[in-house]
Structure 1
Amino acid sequence: MAIDMNFSHDIDDEYVKLIRRMNPPRVVIDNDACKDATVIRVDSANKHGILLEAVQVLTDLNLIVTKAYISCDGCWFMDVFNVTDQDGNKVTDEGVLDYIKRSLESDSCFASSMRSVGVKPSVDYTAIELIGNDRQGLLSEVSAVLTHLKCNVVHAEVWTHNTRAAAVMHVTDDETGSAITDLERLSRIKGLLSNVLRGSNSRSNGAKTVVSHGVTHIERRLHQMMFADRDYELLDEDAMEDQQRPNVKVVNWCDIDYSVVTIRSKDRPKLLFDTVCTLTDMQYVVFHANVVAEGTEAYQEYYIRHIDGSPVKSDAERQRVIQCLEAAIRRRVSEGLKLELCTTDRVGLLSDVTRIFRENSLTVTRAEVTTKAGKAINTFYVRDPSGYPVDSKTIDSIRELIGQTILKVKGSSSPKEQKQASQDSPTRFLFGGLFRSRSFVNFGLIRS
């Protein structure tokens, strides 16, 4: 007798809901158990993606996970995180602690299967996803097109890895300040941006533009986009320096029915999110894990099975897991000099700043663009396209154009800069004659 698979799936979903109603998530936050970290314990009925959801909540608050212990018996999930703020202190803000507890205990946090990013409609902005070959000036050209089409970039992240560039951008109409709804205009935006991604090569490998009104987790989406783009297959074994390369191993133990993944790498913020995100999207379930990040090195150990219940079956699968985890770790590694920009937001700001980078022969390897309460807070990682260190005279020239107090080099606090900061107005340069005369990419080369 044939079984209705949809009916069977519905029964499974109802069973999971029943288990969750009988055993809602429980979160305990303890600031006394550890002398140098806040301990967060999460107990819940297990479901694929639940670990990622928990890590995502902590990561979005910019908390640092110094240790983690994960255990699952197949039906029940227990996770213990030791976390600090970015300064290495315990988390004591009652508002933050309450938010963590409410978020991790809410049904919405764990309700969806994490096999794909859920898309919710947004009236606040239009989401644009871009992926294509990386090249010097690409971000400048993209932002110039958006400015020309009267779009304001309110939030964006750009990653580059292995000759590929991916971006998720939230844009609004510069007149209404809300999402763009006109279908003809959206089609034009997509067409022009697709042409920019292709550049002079009409057959550019894998150039893709997606425009939607969905709400997604940007960093999760960037991982998914680059994973789908198979950027992990482009790893240059010779070009990757040994000290930069993560040490990833995957072994099967004969006496247990798991594959054991061990990762040793340089520690950095959001490292745990990046690895858990990739394992989840590759359809692996983490049953047990131990994570320690002390000093400059991080150690991660995962006991995994594929979602079908099997460990890693072949050497080819093992190699693919290694490659994908290496790629996930390196995507967020920011090569180049870090520049931070903070000023009053306005339409075309991103276009003007990135144009100056391009005109001074700098390549943007990673970017984070945020706006809040009328202020733009942007971070750029730039490098010389020839591979040499960025010339300090070039940076000085760029900062003279934009404004010493507006564009800062991370960790730069010389007496000369401190004196200059006291003299400069935050808007002295940015709204001067330089930015009143705009220059855009040659739109004669862009076909509508």
Structure 2
Amino acid sequence: MEASVSFSQNMDDEYEKLIRRMNPPRVVIDNESCKNATVIQVDSANKQGILLEVVQVLTDLNLMITKAYICSDGGWFMDVFNVTDHDGNKITDEGILDYIQKSLGPDSCFASSMRRSVGVTSGMDHTSIELIGSDRPGLLSEVSAVLTHLKCNVVNAEVWTHNTRAAAVMQVTDEENGGAITDPERLAMVKRLLCNVLKGSNKSREAKTVVSVGATHTERRLHQMMFDDRDYERMGNDSADEKERPNVNVVNWHDKDYSVVTIRCKDRPKLLFDIVCTLTDMQYVVFHGNVDAEGPEAYQEYCIRHIDGSPVKSDAERQRVIQCLEAAIQRRVSEGLKLELCTSDRVGLLSDVTRIFRENSLTVTRAEVATRAGKAVNTFYVRDASGYPVDPKIIDSIRQTIGQTILRVKGSPEESNQVPQESPTRFLFGGLFKSRSFCNFGLVRSYS
């Protein structure tokens, strides 16, 4: 019986390879037909998850998708994307164009891109740590302090908070040899101590720590972790956030046996990826779609069915789809000042930085940590610990504590004086350790 199943699976794999050889993917990149965008068309034999793989390649290159047309009904997949760089220009870099062709074209096999928003993973040269738990003051400082004590250097990391939960994917190296940590006993200790930190005194929600060696797509995993953690379940009375909530609607199109999902919200980078990622995780297939994000507001429409071929079957399922898509959009939303810290990398840097923020009454709502050619480039979104906009005197205090610094504030003063909203997810970072002076930091407010 087992041999029969194995034979059937092998036949399916060979059939898929045959279809691919007969109908290889085709990528057409056009910089002439559209005045203000590069048009990328991808044609391929259809398969589950192909839309996410294509969108992931484009967003990992930090391209802005301003329009998209999606059609994957039947055995064929066709997507058309209008893309620009972050300055709104067409894509003319031959290296990027060649990468798109190789990643999506006949020789690609649609292998998932390993580029990340905070760096590029590179195989077995680091240890990946995934953390999920309840958000609370000082959590990241405690985590980074434990890693420093265990002689682990955080070289890349991304941290999201949403709806009282915090998730992180961190890449660490051994302080002694600069490579992955492979000793099973040491890995077990890392996992045990970090899990204790995550649990804290909160026993009502589960905390998880996963340690592995190798590469992972950070943002993909963060979505999966928070989705599995059910961060989309609304906590208490959230009417205060009603104005900020995306407009998500789901209706059934009975004539075509589809469910139609429409989304209107403020546009931002990687919005399409976040939505497609969540639909895929929820086991829905997008058959048709239209995306328009040329203005400040993005409009997206998708015709979907569950992987079993059925549309949304009940009001409870409809509400769950709405809540999950809202959560996918809001996880990446960041409030407060955007600060970028650039300096030579060293063990314990993240712990020191978050401690100084905390000692200056700042809390961080989201973070990206990257190491590039021996330099640490850390981005933090910070607010006053009480939820109010950051006082300029606090920035001056940080400048005096850190040393030689350059601090740039994005946007107008009006943007910094928005009405604060109470939220338990404002308190992720910080520590209660004593500060020690250190210099040669560049604290830069990003304009990207």
TM superposition score normalised by structure 1 = 0.87
Residue 320 in structure 1 maps to residue 323 in structure 2: no
CA contact (8 A) 2:124 2:214 kept: no
Give the distance between the partners of 2:25 and 2:134, measured in 1 at CA. Answer: 43
Shift of 1:2: 11
Give the distance between the partners of 2:8 and 2:97, measured in 1 at CA. Answer: 40
Look up the match of 2:430: none
Residue 195 in structure 1 maps to residue 196 in structure 2: yes
Give the distance between the partners of 1:221 and 1:236, measured in 2 at CA. Answer: 27
Specify the code of the residue in structure 2 equivalent to 1:21: R
CA contact (8 A) 1:338 1:410 kept: yes
1:177-326 equivalence runs, <5 A? 177-201=178-202, 203=203, 205-236=205-236, 238-326=238-326
Give the distance between the partners of 1:108 and 1:217, measured in 2 at CA. Answer: 17
The worse-fitting range, judged by mean Cα deviation, of 182-191 and 390-399 is: 390-399
Residues 1:225 and 1:2: Cα distance change in structure 2 (over 3 Å): closer
2:241 match: secondary structure:
coil
Residues 1:8 and 1:193: Cα distance change in structure 2 (over 3 Å): same
Identity %: 78
Per-residue CA deviations over 1:327-350 (Å, capped at 9, x if unaligned) read 000000012221111111111111
2:244 match: secondary structure:
coil
Look up the match of 2:164: 163
Shift of 1:123: 2.0
CA contact (8 A) 1:245 1:326 kept: yes
- Count of residues in correspondence between the two structures: 410
The worse-fitting range, judged by mean Cα deviation, of 380-389 and 184-193 is: 380-389
Residues 1:317 and 1:10: Cα distance change in structure 2 (over 3 Å): farther
- Gaps of at least 5 residues in structure 1 are 113-119, 414-431, 437-448
1:168 match: secondary structure:
strand
Residue 129 in structure 1 maps to residue 137 in structure 2: no
Give the distance between the partners of 2:239 and 2:400, measured in 1 at CA. Answer: 35
Specify the code of the residue in structure 2 equivalent to 1:434: S
CA contact (8 A) 1:340 1:408 kept: no
Look up the match of 2:15: 15
Give the distance between the partners of 1:68 and 1:163, measured in 2 at CA. Answer: 34
Residues 1:236 and 1:60: Cα distance change in structure 2 (over 3 Å): farther
Look up the match of 2:376: 376
Give the distance between the partners of 1:207 and 1:176, measured in 2 at CA. Answer: 30
Give the distance between the partners of 1:240 and 1:102, measured in 2 at CA. Answer: 47
Shift of 1:433: 6.3
TM superposition score normalised by structure 2 = 0.87
Shift of 1:195: 1.2
Shift of 1:408: 4.4
Shift of 1:355: 0.8
Look up the match of 1:58: 58
CA contact (8 A) 1:122 1:179 kept: no
Look up the match of 2:437: 434
Give the distance between the partners of 2:250 and 2:84, measured in 1 at CA. Answer: 30
Per-residue CA deviations over 1:396-416 (Å, capped at 9, x if unaligned) read 211221245355443599xxx
The worse-fitting range, judged by mean Cα deviation, of 239-248 and 289-298 is: 239-248
Residues 1:2 and 1:62: Cα distance change in structure 2 (over 3 Å): closer
CA contact (8 A) 2:337 2:382 kept: yes
Shift of 1:240: 4.7
Give the distance between the partners of 1:24 and 1:105, measured in 2 at CA. Answer: 8
